[in-house]
C-alpha cells in the first residue's frame, strides 16, 4: 500500500509518502515565526503558499506518480485550527481530484507509531515530548493509548520556547536554547513532580526571574539559567518516566516527538535505562520533528483497521487527545 501523508498541525507543512512501512519521501517546510511566535493566520498563509511545491517535491523524490498512491492521510489534530484547515483542504482536493480515499490521523498517534516502527519495539512504554504535549503513554489490549502521566500546564517544548522568547533570543526555539545552554553552570530552580504528572509554569517563572539577576556580572546568567532550566525539566521528566516503567513493568521505552531530538535528554534517558536494564529507543531526528511520513505511515495502519474516513468527517479536531481515538474511531 502507498500512503501519502500531510502534516499541518502547527508550524510545519510536510508531505511524505510511505510504501509498506518504508518512507519513500518526506519533504518538510517549517515556518519560522522568529520573535513573534506562531500566529495562526500566518501559519495558514505559509502552508497554502508552499503546499504545491512540497507536494511536487515529495512525489518526485518518492519516484511515484499520484496515480500510484492508494490513500491520502492527513493530520486531523490536535493542533491549531487555521493551519489544520489548509492541510485538510489540500488532502480533500487531492482525494477528489484523483479519486483517492481519505484517512484522518491523530498527530500524537503518528509520532508514537512511526517511532515504535523504526525502533522495532512492540508495545513499549512511550514518552512523547513536543511543544504542546508532554505525555507518558501505554497502549491497551486493543491498541488504544492511555495517558499515564502528563504535564498539568504547558508542554515541555513550549516551556523552552517561552523562556527563549523571554530572554529575547533571535530564534526562540528549544534547539537554539540547547546551544546556548552548552557549558552553562547549574543554578537552583524549582522542581515540580506530582506522581506521574509534571508542572512547568513555576519553573518558567523562576527561570525568567533568575535570567534577569545580574548579581554575578562575570557569569553568563542567560547561559547558566538556560542550562539549569533544561537540566531541571529533563530530570523531572526522567523521574516520572522511571516511575511509570516500574509501575507498568515495561522493559522497552520509546522516546518520540520534537523534543526527542535533544541529545542531552536522550543521554539522560539512556543512562537511566542502562541502570534499570530497560531497552531504550529513539527514531532519527527527521521522524521526530513534525513530518508527513509519520502521518502517511499511521494513516496506512488506521486504514487497515477502520477503512476510509467519509469526506464530511474530514474536519479539524483541534483538541484531539490521543486517548480520544476510541471514542472518535471505535
Residues that bind Fe ion (CB under 5 A): 130, 290
CA distances from 123 to 84, 116, 158, 191, 265 (A): 29, 8, 28, 30, 22
Cell for 205?
517563572
Closest CA to 43 of 12, 72, 14, 71: 12
Q: Closest approach of Cβ 136 to Fe ion, in Å?
A: 16
Judged by CB, which is closer to Fe ion: 242, or 290? 290
Residue 227 vs 320, nearer CB to Fe ion: 320
Cell of 285: 531526528
Tell me how crowded residue 67 is: count the other CB atoms within 10 A of its CB: 8
- Pull the grid cell for residue 120: 522495532
Report the alpha-carbon distance of residue 7 to residue 179 in Å, rounded.
Answer: 27
Give 169 or 256: the residue with its C-beta nearer to Fe ion: 256
Q: Nearest distance from residue 128's CB to Fe ion, in Å?
A: 9
Least spacing, CB of residue 288 vs Fe ion, in Å: 8
Minimum CB distance to Fe ion smaller for 10 or for 278: 10
CA distance 51 to 59: 12
Distance CA 299, CA 285 (A): 20
Q: For cell 502547527, name the residue.
A: 10
Q: Round to whole Å and give the CA distance between 261 and 284.
A: 8
Distance in Å, CB of 130 to Fe ion, minimum = 4
d(CA 57, CA 4): 13
| Nearer residue to Fe ion within complex by CB, 58 or 130 | 130
- Between 130 and 221, name the residue whose CB sits nearer to Fe ion: 130
Q: How far is the CB of 248 from Fe ion (least distance, A)?
A: 24
Which is it for strands 193-194 and 197-198: parallel, antiparallel or unpaired? antiparallel
The residue among 26 and 221 lying less far from Fe ion, judged by its C-beta, is: 26
Smallest distance, Fe ion to C-beta of residue 257, A? 6
Taking the least distance from each CB to Fe ion, the nearer of 278 and 293 is: 293
Amino acid at each position: 500500500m502507498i500512503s501519502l501523508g500531510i502534516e499541518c498541525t502547527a508550524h510545519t507543512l510536510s508531505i511524505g509518502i510511505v510504501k509498506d512501512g518504508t518512507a519513500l519521501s518526506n519533504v518538510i517546510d517549517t515556518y519560522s515565526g522568529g520573535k513573534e511566535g506562531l500566529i495562526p493566520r500566518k501559519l495558514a498563509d505559509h502552508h497554502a503558499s508552499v503546499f504545491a511545491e512540497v507536494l511536487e517535491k515529495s512525489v518526485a523524490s518518492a519516484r511515484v506518480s499520484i496515480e500510484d498512491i492508494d490513500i491520502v492521510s492527513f493530520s486531523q489534530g490536535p493542533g491549531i485550527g487555521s493551519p489544520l484547515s489548509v492541510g485538510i483542504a489540500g488532502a480533500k482536493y487531492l482525494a477528489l481530484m484523483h479519486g483517492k480515499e481519505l484517512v484522518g490521523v491523530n498527530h500524537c498517534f503518528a509520532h508514537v507509531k512511526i517511532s515504535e516502527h523504526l525502533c522495532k519495539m512492540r508495545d513499549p512504554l512511550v514518552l512523547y515530548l513536543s511543544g504542546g504535549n508532554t505525555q507518558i503513554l501505554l497502549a491497551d489490549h486493543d491498541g488504544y493509548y492511555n495517558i499515564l502521566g502528563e504535564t498539568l500546564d504547558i508542554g515541555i517544548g513550549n516551556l523552552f520556547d517561552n523562556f527563549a522568547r523571554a530572554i529575547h533570543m533571535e530564534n526562540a526555539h528549544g534547539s537554539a536554547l540547547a546551544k546556548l545552554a552548552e557549558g552553562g553552570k547549574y543554578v537552583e530552580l524549582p522542581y515540580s513532580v506530582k506522581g506521574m504528572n509534571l508542572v512547568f509554569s513555576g519553573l518558567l517563572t523562576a527561570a525568567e526571574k533568575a535570567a534577569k539577576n545580574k548579581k554575578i556580572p562575570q557569569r553568563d546568567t542567560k547561559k547558566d539559567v538556560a542550562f539549569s532550566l533544561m537540566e531541571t525539566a529533563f530530570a523531572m521528566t526522567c523521574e516520572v518516566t522511571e516511575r511509570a516503567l516500574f509501575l507498568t513493568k515495561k522493559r522497552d521505552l520509546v522516546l518520540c516527538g520534537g523534543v526527542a531530538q535533544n541529545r542531552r535528554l536522550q543521554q539522560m534517558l539512556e543512562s537511566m535505562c542502562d541502570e534499570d536494564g530497560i531497552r531504550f529507543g529513539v527514531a532519527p531526528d527527521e521522524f521526530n520533528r513534525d513530518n508527513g511520513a509519520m502521518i502517511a505511515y499511521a494513516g496506512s495502519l488506521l486504514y487497515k483497521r477502520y477503512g476510509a474516513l467519509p469526506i464530511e468527517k474530514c474536519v479539524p479536531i483541534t483538541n484531539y487527545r490521543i486517548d480520544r481515538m476510541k471514542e472518535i474511531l471505535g
